[in-house]
Amino acid sequence: MYDFAYHKPTTVADAVKILSADPEARPISGGQTLLPALKHRLNKPTAVVDLSGIAELKGIRREGDRLVIGALAKHGEVANSPEVKAAIPALAQMASTIGDTQVRNRGTIGGSVSNNDPAADYPAAVLGLDATVVTDKRRIAADDFFQGMFTTALEPGELLVAIEFPIPEKAGYAKMRNPASRYVMAGVFVARTKSGTRVVVNGAGPGVFRQAEMETALAANWSADAVAGVKQSPDGLNGDIHGSAEYRAHLVTVMAKRAVANAG
């Protein structure tokens, strides 16, 4: 690993100041993605800004018909949170399957969503639940936030502060994991909310995306049978040694059926 300076600010304003002054500085929360990348010298930051001492980024709370999760909430905290389990059980269930126990004890929702790995779990829930990403500067709708592989609407120096999830009527998630890496080969998040029915695919493509045909089918008939006949096109999906684009396209329909079943 290349060496870097280390900062540990205690306010969002101080963190943003350091990050804005130095475009080569990187924020770190749990570090479960950043540190492996640094170890492989895939990245050479001049400074690492540790966010873990910033109280404003912490906490999980219910605010009316929304669940607000601070950027520093660890996967394990979300999985075990009574507030999350009561309001959006599918989100707690999803969090309980991210990585492994040790990753869940360190990795955070803000880090996962900011990184937007195509095989990450959380982006599917953020988009599927029509959540709002709150940063130090503005509020961003999930539909505008995710912009393809490892790309988001966040500007340089902009920090994700919290995510606001509208509480859905029903939601469910299912994924097929790569048996070796445990990353998502194809996953589907389904939700029925006040603003409509959403079906989001992760893992299969270069980024999370909504599956419009399945949304229409589920809006008309909320059942696993409704999505069973909808085929996902393999065009643009990922194909690699772990599975072809055609295989992943097939998995999308299978995972959609399971996600609806999980939602109940």
SS3 179: coil
Distance CA 225, CA 128 (A): 20
Q: How far is the CB of 7 from another protein (least distance, A)?
A: 9
Q: In terms of CB distance, is 24 or 155 closer to another protein?
A: 24
Instruction: Mark residues 49-88: x for contact with another protein by CB under 8 A, - for none.
Output: -x-x-----------------------x------------
Please give the structure tokens belonging to residue 130.
Answer: 């029509």
Specify the pairing of strand 47-50 against strand 25-28: parallel
Q: How far is the CB of 174 from another protein (least distance, A)?
A: 17
User: What is the longest distance spanned by two Cα atoms in the chain?
Assistant: 56
Q: In terms of CB distance, is 110 or 234 closer to another protein?
A: 110
Q: In terms of CB distance, is 52 or 193 closer to another protein?
A: 52
Q: In terms of CB distance, is 105 or 244 closer to another protein?
A: 105
Q: How far is the CB of 36 from another protein (least distance, A)?
A: 5
CA dihedral of 17, 23, 29, 32, whole degrees rounded to 10: 180
Q: In terms of CB distance, is 114 or 132 closer to another protein?
A: 114
Regarding 4 and contact with another protein (CB under 8 A), the answer is: yes
DSSP character for 249?
H
Q: In terms of CB distance, is 28 or 134 closer to another protein?
A: 28
Q: Where do we find the tokens 């194809």?
A: 186
Regarding 44 and contact with another protein (CB under 8 A), the answer is: no
Distance CA 102, CA 126 (A): 23
For 61-79, give the DSSP string. EEETTEEEEETT-BHHHHH
Question: What residues from 89 to 148 belong to the interface with another protein (CB under 8 A)?
Answer: 99-103, 105-106
Q: For the beta carbon of residue 133, count every other beta carbon within 10 angstroms.
A: 25
Closest CA to 113 of 124, 101, 98, 99: 124
Question: What residues from 14 to 33 belong to the interface with another protein (CB under 8 A)?
Answer: 28, 31-32
Residues of this chain that bind another protein (CB under 8 A): 1-6, 8, 28, 31-32, 35-36, 38-40, 47-48, 50, 52, 76, 99-103, 105-106, 181-182
